[in-house]
Structures are given as structure tokens and as C-alpha cells.
A = this chain, B = another copy of it.
Amino acid sequence: MTQSLGYGLIGTGFMGKCHALAYRSATAVFGDVAAPRMEILCDTPEEKAGRFATQFGFQRATSDWRAVIDDPAVDIVSITTPNGMHKEMALAALAAGKHVHLEKPMALTLQDAREMAEAAARAPGRTMVGYNYLHNPAIAHARKLIEEGAIGRPIHFRGLVDEDYQADPDLPWTWRARRADAGLGALGDLGCHLVSLAVLLLGPVASVIAEMQTVHETRKLADSDERRPVENEDVASALLTFESGVNGLFSCSRSAWGRKSRIGLEIHGTKGMITYEQERMNELRLYRNDGTGATQGFTTILTGPAHPPYGEFVPAPGHQLGFNDLKVIEVRSFLKAIADGTLTFPSFADAFHYEAVIHAIAQAAESGARVRPEAA
């Protein structure tokens, strides 16, 4: 097993808890990385930090995020704070020589993401960005099938990512609606996940044309009758051209009633097709033109030990992994890469491209022109 590393966590919300659980479990699940030492947790106020440190099993708590970064016992820092705080924290952590595990999106602007990727390239620490859906055994299997030629040459892509957390017209205005605080809307929350999957399966994106809409143009403040503008997009759609020549369709919405965690993918190939739906994340559907004639159809593959690393969690197929398990795979992958000195994936450099694509989509929608994602 590898050498134990000290771990610090900044932020205890949705993703903060998810990181804490994953760092607690990765060794017990995989057995090939040393258990990290749960050193210090940061949140505000202090009382909250203390409470969560106890709950999550950290030794110390702080309300000062710099205390995490400056802590000599800490080797890895998870940053799971609101997006607007990512850049400062990540740069500081990198400067302090830490390995950085950052939640997506990297930053509010692509310029910020670029600075962060450049800092990472110069820093001794390794980086990992929380594009957790990449780590699903079903997705890994899809990638393997494509690489093995199971569907022939990929020719077309369709991707839809939807949730409904901003669907209700009566929700109050929040900072999420202000571009300066939140950056992009649906693209930043959801769209970049879809891009990460598309790029994993089909390679980098070469150019886009796009449209965006803000469905609910203003929202009422929670505590007054004033209405404020919603400055970022509820829905964005694009036509993508991949560098491989494949083209495809992309759409994301945070106002799609009934969709709770929908990421729908279709990869069309010259010999078959693969489809996937995140809300049934343990299933992959495969059609192959394999000459079986009257018995051809889409096969629903239930993930199991034949789809690594599913078997590390449960030795029996079809028993279902959950959302939090994907983060365990991500954490173990990070710990292993640090220990082995191999590439982390997705690093800041990888994630930069995903985020370059969503910013290209926003720019294409605003300009009406075809836009190439910025190169790293």
C-alpha cells in the first residue's frame, strides 16, 4: 500500500460531505492506497466547522481556510466552496505545495481557469477536478467499447443534461443569478459535466455554434417585492464539432421539470450505438449490427464486476453503485496517481478544455458565430 497523506477539506456542503465520505472510504473499498489522515476541516462559522469535523472524523476544525492550506500535516486539500472562491484558494494551495482536489467548475471565468491551470503546471502538487461522472464504471465500459470498435467509427453524438432546480418561476432571486458571483448558469452547473463525458468518449471539441435563453428573466427577492434580473442562462444548446470530425448535439437546462439528474448520451457509430442515462447510472445500452438479425436490439447492460472498478464495491452484479461511490473512485484514482507519480485525471489541464467548451458555447450564443474553444 501507499504512504498515508494528510487531508484537509474546505467546505462542508453537498460536495464537501461527498469528499469527506470518499476520503474516509477509498482505502477500505480499494485496498491499494493508504488511508489518508483526516487532519483538518474548514467551514464558517467556527461552531459549524467543529460540528462537521466531529461528524466527518477530522482531527481539527477551523473557520480560516488559510489554516488548512498552511497546515504542514496536510498534503491534499479539497476545495468545495462556492465557485467564486475556487481560484484564490486553489492558487494558494498550489503555492503551498499541496495537492489540490477542486470541485467543478474550476472558476467563474475561463481566464481564471487558465491562470489556475498554468499555476498547476508549475506547481509540485497534483490536481484533480470533481468531474465525478467520468468515473462511473458504465462510462468506463462505454469508452472501452468505443475503443475496441464495438460500434465502429463514431459518427455522431447527442448529449442532454437537465435538472429542475431552477424550473419554478416562484423561486426567489439568489446570488446564483448574478454573473459576477456565479459565472455561467446551466452551462457551469450542468453543461460542463456533459462536456467532460463527451470529451472522454469522443475527444476534444473543435468548434461550436449555440443558443442560450434565460427562461425566468427576473426573480423576486425573498424578503421584498423587488424583482432582480437573472443574469445567466437557464438553458443552452449547441451544435458541436469534435476534432475527430464527429459532430453532435448538446443541450443543458436547469429549468427542466422532472429531470433530477438527467445526463443522456448517445454515441452513434458505423456499426452500432451506445446510449446512457445518468438517472439509471448502473445501466448502459448497446446496439450492435452483429448479424443476429431477428434477435438484434438494444442490450441493457447492468454494471457488475465485469465493469471495473464496480467489483471493489460489490462482488455481485446488478446491485447498484450510487452517486457517492463515484467520488470514492475519483479519490482513489487521485491518491493512486499521487503515490505512483502518474497523471491524474481529470487534472486542471484536462478540466480547462471542458470549461473552455462551455465558455465557447456561451460566446457563440452571444455572438451568433461559430466559436473555437480557447486552447490551453
Q: Which A residues are within 8 Å of any B CB, using their own CB?
A: 1, 13-14, 17-18, 20-21, 24-25, 27-29, 31, 35, 51, 54-57, 141, 145, 150-152, 155-156, 158, 160, 163, 165, 167-169, 209-211, 213, 215-216, 235, 237-239, 241, 247-249, 251, 253, 255-262, 268-273, 279-282, 286-289, 293-302, 304, 306-307, 313-325, 368, 370
Partner of A279, one of B14, B20, B160, B320: B320
Closest to A289 in B: B257
Residues of B close to A279: CB separation below 8 A: 282, 302, 318, 320
Residues of B contacting A237 with CB < 8 Å? 239, 247-249
- Measured CA separation A167–B286 after assembly (Å): 15
A256 touching B156, Cβ below 8 Å:
yes
- Assess A28 versus B14: contact at CB under 8 Å? Given A239-B211, A249-B237, A257-B151: no
Which residues of B sit under 8 angstroms from A295, Cβ to Cβ?
A: 145, 150, 286, 299, 301
Residues of chain B within 8 A of A306, CB atoms compared: 293-294
Contacts of A314 in B (CB 8 A): 14, 18, 322-324
- A55 — which chain B residues lie within 8 A by C-beta? 27-28, 31
Could you say how many copies of this chain the assembly holds?
4
Structural contact, A261 and B155, CB atoms closer than 8 A: no
- Bound: A37/B277 CA distance, A: 39
Residues of B with C-beta under 8 A to A322: 313-314, 319-325
Interface SS, A side: mixed
* Residues in B neighbouring A31, C-beta threshold 8 A: 51, 55
Residues of B within 8 A of A238 (CB): 239
Please give the distance in Å from A287's CB to the nearest CB on chain B.
3
Cβ contacts under 8 Å, A280 to chain B? 280
Q: Cα distance A156–B51 when bound, in Å?
A: 44
Nearest residue, chain B, Cβ from A18: B314
Contact B29 A260 (CB under 8 A): no
In the complex, A325→B328 CA distance in Å? 13
Cα–Cα distance between A269 and B160 once the two chains are bound (Å) = 16
Question: B323 touching A155 by the CB < 8 A rule?
Answer: no
